Structure 1
Amino acid sequence: MTSPTTTLEKADPNDLNSLYKYLRVCDVADALDGIGYFNLTLMSPEVRPLWEGMKFWGHAATMRCVPANKPMWKLDTTEDIVDAHRIWFERHGHRKLPDDLAPGHVIVMDSGGGPEVGFWGSENTMAAVGAGAVGIVSDGNCRDTGEVILQRTPVAVRERGRTIIPGRIEVVEVQGTISCGGVQVRPGDMVGCDDDGVIVVPAEVAHEVATHARAILLADMYKRRKHYDALGMQPDSTVDVDAVLAYYDGI
């Protein structure tokens, strides 16, 4: 049987991203329940992936925003209107995430409850992925969503937006503790997303949770594989137990 898991790649016990690679959000939620973290790190169901089939896990890199308290001024030329972001940032500044973030991070943004604003869009999300992000999560908005979906850029947000940043929202802090989707997120926490939504795993329990969640996943795969066989269904990667066991062998 051919599936994405039938490769020679192996999980690395020292690499959390690899330990979470095949876990589902629901497996991790069950594992967190099992150690007493009931509902503490489940993001609001309103924070959703923009397209079906999206899945990512990675260490959080955080951004905190607040609504702007000053307006954007009228621009007089087409050139300036096209360049509005640069003009705004040059006057008021713009905090950015560090350039040296390790590949495999998930950008998580607290929008600060601001107005509709497409802070994330088709271009800057691609730039973030190019810089090593495996996902972007925000309790705010994303614009250009048709293009984001076409690109298969991994973005989970609360709402779709239409407007741009100047005069609406400002980044005031990066790499601090934030709130997103009703839960606390710190740099280094594990953040995951799939069709069921978004979850955060506190860094101090991330290895333990990965162990429990892996057992939960495999138990479910065994049961589902029996149903596939009984119903005469063609097996797929979601019931390829042998491949998943091989990936985690020795962990």
Structure 2
Amino acid sequence: MMRQSLYSAVVCDALDGLGFTNQSPRTQLLSLTVDEVLVGRCRTTSWEEIDFEDPAPYELELQAVDSCEPDDVLICAAGGSMRSGIWGELLSTAAKNRGCVGAIVDGAVRDISKMTAMGFPVFATARCIYDSLNRQRVIAVDEPVEIDGVIFRSGDLVLADQDGIVVVPQEIEEQAMRNAWQKVHDENITRDAIIDGMLATAAYRKYGVL
């Protein structure tokens, strides 16, 4: 129901109304695979760039994927690095098999066409063909991460679509979702009134929604 009716902008507005005014990264994290609303629970990973032979290649990223639970969204905080494509087809396949519903990557990804064919939602900063082996690695799982000044914590609700990405802290999730549903309702009434001929100024005066 949430995937069909809610969207990132209205949730961001609801968070604004609660005083949480920095819950959506302004950096360009674009949908690179499928055009749908991604909704799930954050599963965070923190990445670093390396320039040596990794003694335990892919270790923590594989652990993160294998420990995914249904409705998880993998959050890859890599500081926007273009050093390699840290997410691709095989990780998407493994994550999807565990019930993961998508990935948000503050960095580069590869295997775009294959992930698109899988129907696996991936939001990322860019594309990069290089393998992450000996270029980047996961250094922490399930610890708070930061993307463009916004904090993501494992278990937080996250929504992503063509407008952007918004994360909802667990401690205010219930109220934020209630307010978001109310705004969707109010926007629908306002839209119908405008379609029926009411001027936008009059509709705003009457319903207080824009």
TM-score normalised by length of structure 1? 0.70
Matched, 1:43 2:7: no
Superposition deviation, residue 51 in structure 1: 4.1
Relative distance call for 1:20 and 1:213 in structure 2 (3 A) is farther
Relative distance call for 1:100 and 1:21 in structure 2 (3 A) is farther
Amino acid of the structure 1 residue aligned with 2:120: T
Count of paired positions = 194
Runs of 4 or more off by more than 4 Å in structure 1? 18-21, 226-230
Structure 1 residues 229-248: aligned runs within 5 Å: none
Identity %: 26
Partners of 1:100 and 1:68 lie apart in 2 by 24
Partners of 1:64 and 1:100 lie apart in 2 by 15
Structure 1 residues 1-16: aligned runs within 5 Å: none
Secondary structure of the residue aligned to 2:86 is coil
Superposition deviation, residue 229 in structure 1: 6.1
Quote the residue 1:242 is aligned against. Answer: none
Contact 1:24/1:217 (8 A) holds in 2: no
Matched, 1:171 2:171: no
Matched, 1:220 2:187: yes
CA offsets per residue over residues 141-172 of structure 1, 9 Å max, x none? 11011222233210000111111011100111
Contact 1:52/1:195 (8 A) holds in 2: no
Secondary structure of the residue aligned to 1:211 is helix
Partners of 1:227 and 1:185 lie apart in 2 by 38
Secondary structure of the residue aligned to 1:118 is strand
Which of 17, 33, 54 aligns to 1:34? It is 17
Superposition deviation, residue 19 in structure 1: 5.6
Relative distance call for 1:195 and 1:115 in structure 2 (3 A) is closer
Superposition deviation, residue 177 in structure 1: 0.8
Contact 1:120/1:143 (8 A) holds in 2: yes
Quote the residue 1:133 is aligned against. Answer: 100
CA offsets per residue over residues 212-246 of structure 1, 9 Å max, x none? 0000111112333445566xxxxxxxxxxxxxxxx
Partners of 2:116 and 2:67 lie apart in 1 by 27
Secondary structure of the residue aligned to 2:87 is coil
Relative distance call for 1:167 and 1:100 in structure 2 (3 A) is closer
Relative distance call for 1:60 and 1:92 in structure 2 (3 A) is same
Secondary structure of the residue aligned to 1:117 is strand
Amino acid of the structure 1 residue aligned with 2:43: A
Superposition deviation, residue 125 in structure 1: 1.1
Quote the residue 2:56 is aligned against. Answer: 92
Quote the residue 2:203 is aligned against. Answer: none
Higher strand share: 2
Which of 62, 70, 73 aligns to 1:106? It is 73
Coordinate RMSD, CA, aligned:
2.2
Relative distance call for 1:188 and 1:21 in structure 2 (3 A) is farther
Secondary structure of the residue aligned to 1:43 is coil
Quote the residue 1:3 is aligned against. Answer: none
Partners of 1:153 and 1:195 lie apart in 2 by 15
Quote the residue 1:53 is aligned against. Answer: 35
Quote the residue 1:233 is aligned against. Answer: none
Amino acid of the structure 2 residue aligned with 1:190: L
Q: Answer with 125-134 or 111-120: which moved more.
A: 111-120
Superposition deviation, residue 105 in structure 1: 1.0
Partners of 1:98 and 1:141 lie apart in 2 by 17
Secondary structure of the residue aligned to 1:92 is coil
Unaligned runs of 5+ in 2: 198-210
Secondary structure of the residue aligned to 1:116 is strand
Secondary structure of the residue aligned to 2:93 is helix
